Amino acid sequence: MFKERLKTHHSAMAEAARYTRGPRKVSEFLNVTLPDEAVSKKATIYIHVPFCSKICSFCNMRRSLQSPRENYHTLLIEEMKAYKDLDYIKNLTFDAIYFGGGTPTTLNTGALREVLRALREYFNLSADVEITIETTVTELTHEKLQMFKEEGVTRFSVGVQTFNDEGRKLMGRIGSGETAYEKLKQMKDMGFKTLSMDLIYNYPGQTKEDLEEDLDKIIALELDGFSMYSLIDMKATTIEDAQGINQDTLFFDIISEKMKKAGYRFLELTKMVTRDQYKYVMNRHEGMDTLPLGAGAGGSVGGLMLMNPINLDQYEESIKTFGARNGMLFSPAYRDLAIFKGTLQKGYLPEDISVYIDLAQYEKTLLEMLEKGYIEKEGSSYHFTSKGIFWGNNISRLLYDMRVQEGE
């Protein structure tokens, strides 16, 4: 059914232009009061820190090899102040906050503390708000960990990638696998609610035994979850190409089977968990608002798409002239599409089949996916098998192409 595997949800994304309704002034569009039934609805915050102390060979993210500007955290706080008094924002309850990058922990301890405190001061946060810090091992000093504990950080996503020293060297990671293991163990001992790590597999030279050792360490640490990414061949990266589809399939099957036996389950196409709820991404899959803060951050609030400039000077100027900042209004159908794709990312087929152009063609495709073992029926709904999760982004792209698109 598929020959080449799509390894990222971005490959399954749609052309967004058809859904645009033109630019709107952010300060005017969001300065409206929500109707009573929508007051205090849940939302998320994404904070982008586009700095890295080292560029990894596999990375294609929006970041730069430099130390953070000394005033970067104050710019983040000024941006919060600009949003906090807008009526729409005042009526949101933020249920999850995600610090991404780049490497957020390149900011110093005091700067991170100020940002965390400003979030609580300027926005309504839920009582059980999930606060995630994306980080490498090397930037996590004991001082920072202690501060995160004091300031109520609940979740970490640690970019380990592999504990194998040769693999770490290939991927440009700093420090040994043993150092990474001991740091994660320290974090577990400190009692943080949720600890997750990134795992890259199918990198050049990786063996079945190398992968098994990585998985054994995840199990021994009793991590709450891990994100699993098959190495993606991208022009902007410097690492050699991944091993082929046969090895890709073999490694995925090893991860799926071994970790299910260890008590893990798929939360989404690239994540297995025991206790990790990962509210930030699950809320986004359900189409919730995401307020973006920081240079290069993007999100959507009230149907208004927001994208901050990645250039630091331009980002600073956009805060000083916040009243002139524009967003792009999208039609409600785009949110419906986001929920459609989010359902697929969670490993389920959307139940509303009226969205498809040709129902007979959809039924034929459904039958083929059942016959090939990509999906299983549970009650009235269909969910992906492990084989379906492996090909999940291909399935998402296939079903998206069968949808009735806006304007047709």
Give the pLDDT confidence of 210-240 residue by residue, as tens digits: 999 999 999 999 999 999 999 864 444 444 4
Closest CA to 209 of 166, 171, 172: 166
At 7, the pLDDT band (50, 70, 90 cuts) reads confident
Closest CA to 155 of 119, 111, 110, 191: 191
Question: Contact at 8 Å (CB) between 133 and 144?
Answer: no
For residue 318, the one-letter residue type is S
User: What's the rounded Cα separation, in Å, for the pair 200 and 178?
Assistant: 17
Say whether pLDDT at 381 is over 90. yes
Cα dihedral sign, 296-271-105-233: negative
User: What's the rounded Cα separation, in Å, for the pair 78 and 242?
Assistant: 43
Segments in 177-261 forming alpha helices (H): 177-189, 208-221, 245-261
At 386, the pLDDT band (50, 70, 90 cuts) reads very high
Helix (H, G, I), strand (E, B) or coil at 338: helix
Say whether pLDDT at 76 is over 50. yes
For residue 237, the one-letter residue type is T
User: What's the rounded Cα separation, in Å, for the pair 221 and 153?
Assistant: 20
The pLDDT assigned to 9 comes to 66
At 295-323, the pLDDT tens digits run: 999 999 999 999 999 999 999 999 999 99
DSSP per-residue string spanning 114-146: HHHHHHHHHS-EEEEEEEEEEE-STT--HHHHH
Say whether pLDDT at 37 is over 70. no
Closest CA to 131 of 119, 140, 146, 114: 119
Question: Contact at 8 Å (CB) between 229 and 271?
Answer: no
Pull the structure tokens for residue 325: 């900042």
At 41-63, the pLDDT tens digits run: 899 999 999 997 654 444 444 44
At 125-183, the pLDDT tens digits run: 999 999 999 999 988 999 999 999 999 999 999 999 999 999 999 888 888 999 999 99
The pLDDT assigned to 408 comes to 53
Say whether pLDDT at 65 is over 50. no
At 187-207, the pLDDT tens digits run: 999 999 999 999 999 998 999
Q: Considering the chain, what is the average pLDDT of its residues? A: 91
Pull the structure tokens for residue 287: 């189409």
Question: Contact at 8 Å (CB) between 397 and 12?
Answer: yes
pLDDT above 70 as % of the chain: 90
Enclosing H/E stretch for 401: helix 392-402
Neighbours of 210 (CB within 10 A): 17
The pLDDT assigned to 238 comes to 43
The CA-CA-CA angle for residues 269, 275, 279, to 5°, reads: 65
Question: Contact at 8 Å (CB) between 197 and 168?
Answer: no
The pLDDT assigned to 34 comes to 76
Q: Which residues of the chain does CATH 3.80.30.20 include?
A: 16-331
User: What's the rounded Cα separation, in Å, for the pair 313 and 303?
Assistant: 27
User: What's the rounded Cα separation, in Å, for the pair 247 and 407?
Assistant: 42
**Domain at 16-331: CATH code:** 3.80.30.20
Enclosing H/E stretch for 12: none
Say whether pLDDT at 98 is over 50. yes
Say whether pLDDT at 260 is over 70. yes
Pull the structure tokens for residue 190: 């400190």
